[in-house]
Amino acid sequence: MAFREDEDTLGTVKVPKDAHYGPQTQRSILNFDICRKTDLMPMEVIKSLVLLKLCASKINKSKGRLAQKEQEAIESACEEVLMNKHNHEFPLVIWQTGSGTQTNMNVNEVISSVANTKLGKDKGSKAPVHPNDHVNCGQSSNDIIPSAINVAVVISCIEYLLPKVTYLRDSLKKKQGEFENFVKIGRTHLQDAVPMTFGQELSGYIDQIDQNLDYIRGHLAHISRLALGGTAVGTGLNSFTGFDVEVCTELTELVLSRWRKGTAFFEAFNEQFLISCSNKLEFSPAINKFAALAGHDALLVFSGMLQSLATAFLKMASDFTLLASGPRCGFSEIILPANEPGSSIMPGKVNPTQCESMSMVAVQVMGNHQSVAIGASRGILELNVFKPLIASNLIHSIKLLADSAHSFAQHCVLDMQVNETKMREYTERSLMLVTALSPKIGYEKSAQLAKWAEANGKSLREAVAEFKFISLEQYDEIVNPKEMTLGGE
């Protein structure tokens, strides 16, 4: 590989000749060779940095801080990065400086070099567009990195978390309608309880998802408040009054204008969903820049919401696993799609693989949340120095939940069937049907019937015939499993 000699404030560094990145990026590559194949800074954060720098360049030009030629070159370079033309130029891992300074300089160096090549200069040139003086104008790593993390989280949520989880929710809703009249026995403490419909059971999962979607949607406004303009410690030194407001306004319009066309920055799962969100977003400056640099409370709360969604997913996946257990020696109330052979030794075995996958995703998201919580607590004096860790775990959790929701809907929910025979058998055998008799004959007599039936291996109807607390005709009128699912006496 051919190298060029490049300089920064510490001296000379050998940089790959064909690279747009420069000496500060190269130093980070050499100094932090930690899990390079797996733990790169998420491209969502890189692209969000680029978006912010593009908007900042426009505002800086309008204030005379950037010449038109420089700004146009920066904008063109930013557009190329957003179009994925330079993804290989961002090789840094999250295990670097806790402020993310090296990633900020990686982006500054690449934009500067790409801009300068458009102006006829060599790769790695720092003139006429300089990485610090022009691309980073009015910014510090300490305010631009947390701003980029927030932007990345907001856009990721709207472009793929919300639509993919909504797709799962709608898939469950479809099956709820399909199975609304299938009566089954409910269970509490894993013991027989009173009847319900499978549609009612599915409605619980749907509402849990709906609640978590509402939490997330409602919280995006808090994450949309950016640290930009605080610069090094929150005072705004080397920026100017109004810079934060103008950049946020420019950023909002840039993002929404793209969404109005159904075009994503990261991933377009549902173009119509993007269009529907094109009037529901506004980036604004953080109310207190000192808190925005040193703490990440909004991100921590959001991470907790992701954990809450993961909890709902884990419950649903675990329940589906239990209800599908069998096929002959388990509950066997539902039939999940046979997607793969289940065993290398037991022929014909099929496992609930989508449920297991979703369960592992949920546990990983819970683990990610613990890392975010600890990282968010590391705001020493004026700066939190766990920013790359927080960013990586949040983006990871968003992607895991989004992809898992889509996979579970596609390969489990939509092709799920019920075993009506088993549901009816369990319902008819359940002694907890006696609950419907309690208002008529009282709790103690009802318990006496259930205990006798269980001890003697008899049905509840046979127990009624034995004790004669009511007639069999009355029993048949009162103990109607379908009617019992409607509530009341």
Residue 4's DSSP bridge partners are: 15
Structural domain harbouring 42:
3-137
Distance, in Å, from the CA atom of 324 to the CA atom of 187, rounded to the nearest integer, reads 15
Helix 68-82 / helix 43-62 crossing angle, nearest 10 deg: 160
Give yes or no: 219 in active site: no
Does residue 425 sit within a domain?
A: no
Domain at 48, CATH number: 1.10.275.10
Q: How would residue 489 be classed by pLDDT, with cut points 50, 70 and 90?
A: low
Question: Do 321 and 195 share a structural domain?
Answer: yes
Please provide the average confidence, as pLDDT, over all residues in the chain.
96
Interaxial angle between packed helices 43-62 and 141-156, expressed in degrees from 0 to 180 and rounded to the nearest 10: 120
Is 156 part of the annotated catalytic residue set? no
Q: What's the total number of domains in the chain?
A: 3
Domain harbouring 441, CATH code: 1.10.40.30
Q: Which residue out of 343, 396, 404, 446 is catalytically annotated?
A: 343
Q: Is residue 96 part of a domain?
A: yes
The pTM score is 0.96
The model's confidence at residue 348, banded by pLDDT at 50, 70 and 90, is confident
Q: Are residues 341 and 377 in the same domain?
A: yes
pLDDT (average), residues 446-467: 95
| Residue 488, pLDDT above cutoff 80 | no
Overall average pLDDT of the 422-448 stretch: 95
Q: Answer yes or no: do 303 and 273 share one domain.
A: yes
Closest Cα partner for 158 from 266, 3, 13?
Answer: 266
Nearest to 88 by CA among 20, 156, 13: 20
Q: Identify the active-site residue in 189, 308, 359, 404.
A: 189
Q: Do 102 and 155 reside in the same domain of the chain?
A: no
| 223 in the same domain as 162 | yes
Q: Where among 374, 392, 420 does a domain terminate?
A: 420
Question: Which of 401, 420, 439 is the last residue in one of the domains?
Answer: 420
- Same domain for 75 and 176, yes or no, is no
